[in-house]
Structure 1
């Protein structure tokens, strides 16, 4: 087990694809909701945009494909469908184990590109919501990922200097956001 207690004061976890294996479920929800509006969203592009808020993705793809949609409505429909599929979500075992090991020893937070209420529902479904002192979603900051605001707010809410935090991420955009916030980043893909 990675023991981070001696060198860091706080841990901040991305959620989708990092702590919870939600990405396959998100892709199904995305595929169905985008197809309903005639928008193509390839799996490769989906993974490349991991961590970017849903309305931003909808606007970008609609613009690129010459479609006119209400990005907020499409994003909300995607989240509703995702929640219907949520029962299938499992934790990412190595990252879950790290969080479980450190949960009583140091402050921990979630910094996600999902809306906070969706993140909280996922954490409760996995039975780990109470492990975290703060959950910061895309709707809690002015500039969500890939900006650094989500990570800075998470550190602030658990009372730890971002420079004393370890961040766990699975996407390049998320890792860049955490690094820009001054955190040391662990690419969870190296743990799998």
Structure 2
């Protein structure tokens, strides 16, 4: 069943990718955990989800600062991407976003606005068979200021030729919702599909 958006005259849909279109967040976390373990760096799951939407390089730099480490940003990012790519056959679409894509495709143009690399976004959408649905991809490296700054969403609106007030954003993170609001856009919150915690041991 479609999630009802706020009232408005929408001429473009802007989607986050990971956790919104692609149910990829658990896979990304596995890739992060494995890549960082090679450097003796922990990444608590709650922090990973709290930082959803941040670019990879920013996350590595922040982890370095928090843990007193000097992990090489580019090297760790490449390793994380390599591990994620191996997991891609397990990826699935998020039903709530897929329904909107199938319902509105051909009526309004779509863009992806992501903190992930273009390589990662393209790979995920290709596996899902959705890459051709999106006229515009705005990914890490295409903007200077990441979410919650509105720059990435405003860039997507500009590329689509649609005024911000006529764009509807689909997001799963607080950072993304804040960025959409700062851009003057209405938004739909996609519920996060997080793995269930392991059962408690028997008493």
Shorter-chain TM-score: which interval? over 0.9
TM normalised by structure 1 equals: 0.94
Return the match for 1:63 from 59, 62, 65: 65
Distance in 1 (CA, whole Å) between partners of 2:55 and 2:186 is 23
**Structure 2: stretches of 5+ with no match in the other structure:** 194-203
Give the 3-state SS of the residue equivalent to 2:99 in structure 1.
Answer: helix
Range 12-21 or range 144-153, more displaced: 144-153
> Where does residue 32 of structure 2 map in the other structure?
30
Aligned to 2:136: 134
Aligned partners of 2:172 and 2:192 also within 8 Å: no
1:12-63 CA-to-partner distances (Å, cap 9, x unmatched) read 0001001100000000000000111111100000000001011111111111
> 1:190 Cα shift?
8.8
Aligned match for 2:43, one of 38, 41, 44: 41
What is residue 201 of structure 2 aligned with on the other side? none
How much does 1:179 deviate? 1.0
Which runs of 5 or more residues in structure 1 are unaligned?
Answer: none
What is the CA RMSD across the aligned residues, in angstroms? 1.8
Question: Of Structure 1 and Structure 2, which has the larger fraction of its residues in helix?
Answer: 1
Secondary structure of 2:107 counterpart: coil
Q: Which has the larger radius of gyration?
A: 2
Give the TM-score taking structure 2 as reference length.
0.89
Contact 1:31/1:41 (<8 A) preserved: yes
* Runs (4+) off by over 3 Å: 1-6
What does residue 54 of structure 2 align with? 52
Mapping 1:37-186, distance limit 5 Å: 37-186=39-188
